[in-house]
Amino acid sequence: MQAVRSRLLSSTSRPLHILHRICGTAPSTCLSAPPRSPLRTIAPSSLSPLPLRTYATTREKGPAGPCDETVDETLGPDEFVDALHSRGVRLFTGVPDSLMKDFLRYVDDHVPKENHIITANEGGAIGTAVGHYLATRQIPLVYLQNSGLGNAVNPLLSLADPSVYSVPMLLLVGWRGEPGHRDEPQHRKQGRIMPQLLDTLGIAYDVLPDYHDGAAEALDTAIEYCTKKSAPYALFVKKNTFTAYKPSSSHMQEGRDGEGEAKMSRMDALRTVTDHASHKDVFVATTGFTSRELYEIRLDRGEPLNRDFLTVGSMGHASAIALGIAASLPSPAFSTPTPSSSPSSLSSSPTVYCLDGDGAAMMHLGNLSTIGASSIAGVRHLVHIVLNNGVHDSVGGQPTAASHPHLSFADIARAVGYRHTAKVKTQEELGEVLSGRIEGEGPYLIEVMCKPGTLPSLRRPRTSFTSMKEEFIANLSNQLHK
């Protein structure tokens, strides 16, 4: 093992490779191909101009150890972090992804806090990486799920691109929806088009091998490219690339408000909210466990599913969807209020509940200012529930900025114009706030402090999303015309 570690940590020039599992060659071809020239002999002019395919495939293939599919090997997070450090990578920044949860848990435990910055969104991570390079000339690492590439495209093209400031960085991209592997509908197209998307962006890429020598050589290729081209380079992370890692201590409650661990589960909070809603009200639930738990509650109670819009992707946009619904309901009650208007004159329309998460709300926090500043009468029927457990729960439990005691969604909402805000820590407090709410007097924001975790076997929606959409629209229309 020490010999393997020393090979992984070595940053000296070595032949490049493409593993047969990646390039499609047979194991015998992979083993018998002649070695490539050492990296140090490659002149910058030999690097491919745009448009780019994988940079490594422009080079002659060579062996990088035995290509044996019978060997069940994964990449140790500790060895990968050490390999990055040995190649001069110090800053780790990004938005957590479930495919990298073991790697990121290790980073959170062992990388100094000043060198690990979890950002609100992927574009912010690109900006942070650029700033780090400007201050240090060191190549930073940005990690993200491929669904977050949309947030990253703007700064990648208008800031880091070689045609602008030409800033090198290593992108570690979780490959959800990888072709040939089962995944949820919201990931499939993103996974299918990811290589073509990187081609279009002009970003060179390769797949991160799941074994030690291969990972070392992939890093050598990436760092060489970043250095010589002064440009971003992406490594795709497949499922089960990293060895399982258990955090040395739970960081899920770090930075809580000093009044002890949250006692209420997210599931309990959702039950309380749905208990206080009327049959005409509708719900927009954020991505991740929140939508799945709401779905679970409906199934357990035998309740109709057509009251809920489950935002299975599009992290951070549930509040905007809820705003769009509330602002667009065609009801006479939504006429511009006058001084003589009473709450009852605006209470005949459904309440629109947005069930948000702390990580999702932080990702597009500007939505709160749009809601708070809105003068559209329908927005008075919007109740924004932020379920704050302080972590990115569905992708590994990494802390969010909302885990810190100085950050309060209730205070932010009040500052940007929400008419009523509250912060609760128990089901009883949540029930009291919901019972005392006056219909048509929103927007409300209720920050619900809850603990991380979910059911061990949480079900996923099995109905097609287009069918669920149509049923939601039909139910909403029926409620308005009763």
pLDDT tens figures, 90-136: 999 999 998 999 999 999 999 999 999 999 999 999 999 999 999 99
Model confidence at 258, pLDDT cuts 50, 70, 90, reads: very low
Same-domain pairing of 175 and 272: no
Predicted pLDDT of residue 181: 80
**Is the same domain home to 218 and 273?**
no
Q: What is the mean pLDDT of residues 198-218?
A: 96
C-alpha torsion 142→148→149→153, nearest 10? -90
Instruction: For residue 307, give its domain range.
Output: 266-480
Has residue 330 got a pLDDT over 90?
A: no
Residues 6+ apart with CB under 8 A from 394: 98, 287, 288, 289, 454
Distances (CA, A) of 459 to 268, 289, 463: 17, 10, 12
Q: What is the CATH number of the domain that holds 197?
A: 3.40.50.970
- Token pair 């729960």: residue: 393
* In the chain, % of residues over pLDDT 70: 78
Q: Are residues 280 and 227 in the same domain?
A: no
pLDDT tens digit sequence for 43-62: 333 344 333 444 444 433 33
Q: Is the pLDDT of residue 18 over 50?
A: no
**CA Rg, the chain, in Å?**
25
Q: Does any domain span residue 248?
A: no
If one compares 334 and 256, the residue with the highest pLDDT of the two is 256
- Quote the CA–CA distance of 121 and 123 in Å, as a whole number: 6
pTM of the model: 0.78
Is 432 inside any structural domain?
yes
Identify whether 102 is part of a domain. Answer: yes
User: Which pLDDT score, from 0 to 100, does residue 263 have?
Assistant: 81
